């Protein structure tokens, strides 16, 4: 019975996240201190005390979530939790997964995603881009609705059956919302985000991100990492680097990624980060999967018990 770890991306952050675990596990504060030293500002204070507006700035959100996920993995390991056989991360979470797999060093990854966040924020002027969640339509219908709109709007996250996130220019996203509603979407709602991720509007960030990635020490991973761009497992460092760059302007193939892991024998997943969004998606993708969130103390202890002996 294979064990996989899933790392969430932007949207999972909240002021005070992993606070109850941090209160009893010094590994959490140790990781945040390491991240703060690498970044040059007190990341732990922002996560613990806010304000939310600061935490939600993309260049802060990304290192905050990466640090939270890696700190939870530290705690898991210190408490004797089973090692994952495969890892994956949603969007930003892919970088956390690479740290877990030994492909990226933590301090380097923190700086890398901080700079990545700056590049993404700067690629599109504030208010010019948008994202929206479309629920209750097949992927192909959402694609057709986007293609029928003048302007830039495309699927950005294929999260699960009947759950697609679209991204693009603000006006085009609004028009696509109306088109999806007209085709019978159960819900079609704009998301409160500052960056239209995983679409061609991120192209201005591609060249500087490529330079950052080329200078990063991305090694072959110890275990397979299922990447967003390909929905396939990678170990080779060069392939991982290439897929990270492609991920910037390409949709997250999350439903395929989880499905492929399950097909390869992964039956138990641990969501290693705040919240339980990925746990919910995994159950929608394959109801036979056993999924555990460890973003709070109760969930951590329950997951450790459930995964004992794996």
Set 36, 91, 197, 250: catalytic member: 91
CA distance 308 to 53: 39
Taking 90 as the threshold, does the pLDDT of residue 194 lie above it?
no
Nearest by Cα to 256 from 224, 277, 229: 229
Mean pLDDT of the chain: 96
Residues ≥6 apart with Cβ < 8 Å to 152: 168, 169, 172, 199, 200, 201
Active site residue 198: yes
Active site residue 292: no
pLDDT-derived band at 1 (thresholds 50, 70, 90) equals: low
Pairing of strands 266-271, 187-190: unpaired
Q: What pTM was computed for the model?
A: 0.96
For the ranges 21-35, 98-112, 185-199, 237-251, the lowest mean pLDDT is seen at: 185-199
According to the model, what pLDDT value does residue 193 have? Answer: 84
Set 198, 250, 257, 292: catalytic member: 198
């Amino acid at each position: 019975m294979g064990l996989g770890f899933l790392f969430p991306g932007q949207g999972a952050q909240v002021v005070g996240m992993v606070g109850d675990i941090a209160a009893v596990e010094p590994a959490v504060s140790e990781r945040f201190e390491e991240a703060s030293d690498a970044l040059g500002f007190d990341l732990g204070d922002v996560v613990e005390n806010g304000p939310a507006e600061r935490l939600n700035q993309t260049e802060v959100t990304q290192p905050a979530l990466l640090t939270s996920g890696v700190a939870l993995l530290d705690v898991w390991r210190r408490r004797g939790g089973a090692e994952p056989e495969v890892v994956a991360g949603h969007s930003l979470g892919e970088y956390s997964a690479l740290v877990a797999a030994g492909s990226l060093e933590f301090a380097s990854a923190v700086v890398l995603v901080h700079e990545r966040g700056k590049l993404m924020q700067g690629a599109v002027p504030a208010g010019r881009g948008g994202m929206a969640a479309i629920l209750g339509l097949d992927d192909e219908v959402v694609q057709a609705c986007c293609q029928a709109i003048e302007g830039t709007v495309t699927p950005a996250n294929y999260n699960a059956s009947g759950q697609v996130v679209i991204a693009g220019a603000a006006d085009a996203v609004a028009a696509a919302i109306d088109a999806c509603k007209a085709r019978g979407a159960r819900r079609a709602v704009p998301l409160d985000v500052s960056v239209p991720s995983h679409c061609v509007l991120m192209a201005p960030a591609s060249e500087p991100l490529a330079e950052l990635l080329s200078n990063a020490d991305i090694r072959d991973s110890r275990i397979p990492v299922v990447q967003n761009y390909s929905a396939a497992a990678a170990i080779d460092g060069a392939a991982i680097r290439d897929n990270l760059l492609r991920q910037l302007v390409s949709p997250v193939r999350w439903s395929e990624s989880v499905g492929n892991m399950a097909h390869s024998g992964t039956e138990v997943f641990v969501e290693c980060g705040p919240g339980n969004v990925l746990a919910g998606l995994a159950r929608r993708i394959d109801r036979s999967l056993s999924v555990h969130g460890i973003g709070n103390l109760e969930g951590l202890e329950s997951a450790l018990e459930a995964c004992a002996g794996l």
